[in-house]
Amino acid sequence: MNCQSVVTRCGCLCICEEDGYVVKIEFNRTCDGKIDKMILEQLLDYLRGVRKDLTFQVKVSGTEFQKRVWYALRNIPYGHTITYKDLAIKLGTSPRAIGQALKANPLPVYFPCHRVVGKNSLGGFTGGLDWKKMLLGTEGCSL
């Protein structure tokens, strides 16, 4: 497994790759190594707001439920948000269960968990709310 970290205006980001698949993305973590240049460029362009979709291959590990939630995130259009509650209704589950699944998301940004917000608050985020705000800002969401 190869990991490489990059520095953004919100702190550093560590991306891990295995056999050409991205397996993990972590905030505020540095790591030493190099990953596929194309993957890195895609991600950086996304963070710059130049690119709106991520097409690299990923390898996902999680429970069936978690995967269901994570893939559902990819149906939220760029620049849009949804509440935990509405997503829960859509998937026939509860808001808190959604929160649990999002917390366990190994590939934030690729699975855009930052597009899920609370009804009357921002909700939480792995790596801190600053990241969430930054990502939403880049996508042009009104906070």
Q: Which is nearer to DNA, 110 or 123 (CB)?
A: 123
Cα 108 from Cα 125, distance rounded (Å)? 9
CA distances from 31 to 14, 15, 57, 69, 88 (A): 6, 8, 21, 28, 35
Instruction: Name the DSSP letter for residue 77.
Output: P
Contact string (CB under 7 A) for DNA, positions 55-84, x = contact: -------xx-xx----------------xx
CA distances from 57 to 11, 79, 103, 142 (A): 25, 22, 21, 30
- Least distance CB 107 / DNA (angstroms): 11
Cα 51 from Cα 43, distance rounded (Å)? 8
In the list 4, 5, 126, 138, the residue contacting DNA (rule: CB under 7 A) is 126
In the list 46, 108, 109, 138, the residue contacting DNA (rule: CB under 7 A) is 108
When asked if residue 105 is in the footprint of DNA (CB under 7 A), the reply is yes
In the list 11, 30, 100, 134, the residue contacting DNA (rule: CB under 7 A) is 100
Q: Which of 12, 16, 113, 141 is catalytic?
A: 113
Q: Which residues are catalytic?
A: 113
